[in-house]
Amino acid sequence: MGLFNRALGIDLGTVNTLVSAGGNIVVNEPSVVAIERSTGQVLAVGAAAAAMLGRAPADIDVIRPLRAGVVADYGWTAKLLSHFIQQAVGRHRLFKPRVVIGVAYQATSVERRAITEAVLAAGAREVYLVEEPVAAAIGAGLTIHDSVGGMVVDIGGGTTGVAVLALGGIITGRSIPVGGIAMDEAILDYCRRECRLIVGERTAEEIKMNLGWALCPGGPAQAEGNAREGGRAPEGQPDELVQRVSGRDLLTGLPKAVELSRTQVARALAPVVAQIVQAVQAVLETTPAEVAADLAHTGICLTGGGSMLGNLPAALQASVGLECRLAADPLTCVVRGTSQILQEIRASRSLTVLNSVQRAS
């Protein structure tokens, strides 16, 4: 058995988990487990379990064992990881792999230990932890080993990590419990409050993917005016998109369908976008002057699934005054970063290659 199966990089996300082996992504599935309530038996993991969200019978619980980027249920997280690790190593299940796994920036020692123990229980022989913004920056192709500062905003499902990096580590940063799930919840709340319509998680995610839009500064007020004037699209969007959305009427409980516009969804998402912008501004305010001067040239790199929200780079750039660009493949930056870290660890046989890598076992 070669190094391909003995070393794994893992992006354990609130919404999706990705696993790389030998530089290739071999697992990319939802972080969801379906459990039979009466027996505690695992019925499905990953995509098969996610297909049950909002549709499962009363005797089946469909859960996300991670919340806001940290372990919420240790036992089910271990089972989730065990399934994905076995899927990654294939027939070589007697061999325990070395694992590099991303953790939320500013995760507590208790949270880090919970992730470490879950990975070990899932079959790893040794575990290395790295902050997700560091892995995301490496996976996005940022040069973080030299003295020139760079900045990454990693918007995942449960958290957003904002970090300024140089010399292999984080100079200053912040993590907030806001990401793709918060966007979905904002759409759910908007549909309930403004349309009197109850929709499911999967429908809200579909609306976000089809109509999601980040307003530039002053956008919420402009969007309100646009809605009153006949629903014109937000600035920068040539055509107003509309989607027919079905759910349950809040008052009658009967099936109901309404039409949602991109402007309405932009208004729903505005508070979430504002929290991300505020986190970026807060980190910039604590960045040393010399590094801030670097950022004027290097700008900000956006990674993570949440960064794919329409117009988000332009909205963030208008708010902070720095060039903002989307990584080439935002969804896979963290797992590709862990894969590169594995290669460096194997090459050097030490952990001096990156300041932010911590050997946990």
Dihedral class, residue 100 (left if φ above 0, else alpha if ψ from -120 to 50, else beta)? beta
Domain locations in the chain?
Answer: 3-138+332-359, 146-326
The predicted model gives 153-166 an average pLDDT of: 95
Residues 233-270 pLDDT 10s: 444 443 578 999 999 999 999 999 999 999 999 999 99
Alpha helices in the chain (DSSP H): 3-6, 47-50, 74-89, 109-121, 132-139, 180-194, 201-211, 219-228, 262-285, 289-298, 312-320, 333-348
Q: Indicate the residue type of 58.
A: A
pLDDT on residue 92: 59
Instruction: pLDDT band for 48, please (50, 70, 90 cuts).
Output: very high
> Residue written as tokens 């008052």?
251
Burial classification of residue 282, based on how many CB atoms lie within 10 Å of its CB (0-12 exposed, 13-18 middle, 19 or more buried): middle
Instruction: pLDDT band for 309, please (50, 70, 90 cuts).
Output: very high
Q: What is the distance between the alpha carbons of residues 36 and 326, in angstroms, rounded to a whole number? A: 41
Run of H or E residues at 9: strand 7-12
**SS3 of residue 25 by DSSP:** strand
Which residue has better confidence, 1 or 73? 73
Top CATH class of 146-326 equals alpha beta
Q: Is 3-138+332-359's fold the same as 146-326's? A: yes
**SS3 of residue 283 by DSSP:** helix
Token output for 152: 């990454």
- To the nearest 10 degrees (0 to 180), the angle between helices 219-228 and 262-285 is 170
Q: What are phi and psi of 219, to 5 degrees?
A: -65, -45
Run of H or E residues at 70: strand 70-71
Provide the β-strand partners of residue 10.
19, 101
What is the CATH topology of the domain spanning 3-138+332-359? Answer: Nucleotidyltransferase; domain 5 (3.30.420)
Residues 174-200 pLDDT 10s: 999 999 999 999 999 999 999 999 999
pLDDT on residue 54: 83
- CB-based contacts of 218: which residues, under 8 Å, 6+ apart? none
> Residue written as tokens 């619980």?
61
Q: What is the distance between the alpha carbons of residues 44 and 28, in angstroms, rounded to a whole number? A: 15
Query: What is the DSSP secondary structure assignment for residue 38, as one 8-state letter?
Result: T
Q: Considering the entire predicted model, what is its pTM?
A: 0.88
pLDDT on residue 55: 87
Of 14-23, 40-49, 223-232, 261-270, the one with minimum mean pLDDT is: 223-232
pLDDT on residue 56: 87
Provide the β-strand partners of residue 274.
none
Token output for 308: 């794919």
Provide the β-strand partners of residue 246.
257
Q: What is the distance between the alpha carbons of residues 335 and 316, in angstroms, rounded to a whole number? A: 25
